[in-house]
Amino acid sequence: MTGDTPGPRLVVLGTAQDGGIPQTGAHDHPAYADASLRRRVACLAIVHDEPRLRAIVDATPDFREQLFLMETIAAGPHPPGALDDETPLTGLFLTHAHVGHYAGLVHLGAEAMNARRVPTYVMPRMRAFLERNAPWEALVRGGHVALHALAPGRAVELGAGVRVTPVPVPHREDYTETVGFRIDGDRRRVLYVPDIDGWKALDATGERIEAMLARVDVAYLDGSFFDDEELPQRDRAEIAHPTILESLERFATLPAEERAKIRFTHLNHTNPVLVPGSAARRRVERAGMRVAEDGETLSL
């Protein structure tokens, strides 16, 4: 996808669970020997050239590379130049305070980019968390980020016809609330829910994932684990996510066009769907759904 593509577009900058692929300490993972198997932590970008639009959803531990990748895609055949520290991003949207979704903020600080007043969109508890806890409060106090309040269902107008709306979802609220995002353009509407405790937990809030799917064209959904046998050494109740098998069962009765919207992301390094042609990947594809890929691009 080159910089002369008309209209805004959404770019998948990463599809891995918070620890990335390969994950720290998993030295037997083949991605340590084969760089083609590596995946960056789950993240989206929204880019447009005129007017200039550069937005990122979640500041991951891979923020440095993802910012470069976003600019490379936006620049097309031309090499990306150095970013203006004053305006490196039109907007930065944070889902919650688990490490894979906000730790990359450190790159905006005085020790690295020394960015100025990056518009950073956060829910109320996320704002309080950043303002009250080191080292994040130094980013606020030093003017490296400018926090803007999000409210459920209230859209942020980014320009170029793009609107970003927070969607509250149930997920371990260790420090903050959790949201997904609905990203609307003039051509396509996208739902992004990389972290959620489960579809039944969402049902209990009065919302249903099927209703969310009906309102969008593409949905990137939590696919952290394929099944409950994946991490036998961990208590899965402590790391609640809907397994991909649970999702396949839940969505099995949806019409084919609804199932085709679904792309699984936020994949743990143990997830067998990461392997093209694997039995797990084939099962997803036979069900009419997909596994998201780093670098895929959608017109908005």
**pLDDT tens digits for 239-298?**
688 999 999 999 999 999 999 999 999 999 999 999 999 999 999 999 999 999 999 999
CATH number for the region 9-299 comes to: 3.60.15.10
Instruction: Identify the weakest region by mean pLDDT among 32-36, 42-46, 264-268, 291-295.
Output: 32-36
Span 159-172, mean pLDDT? 95
Per-residue confidence band for 120, with pLDDT thresholds at 50, 70 and 90? very high
In this model, does residue 235 exceed pLDDT 90? no
Sequence letter at residue 222: D
170 by Cβ neighbours in 10 Å (0-12 / 13-18 / 19+) ranks as buried
pLDDT of residue 239: 67
Find the radius of gyration of the CA atoms of the chain. Answer: 18
The phi and psi torsions of 56 (rounded to 5 degrees) equal -130, 140
In this model, does residue 2 exceed pLDDT 60? no
pLDDT of residue 3: 37
Domain parsing of the chain, residue ranges:
9-299
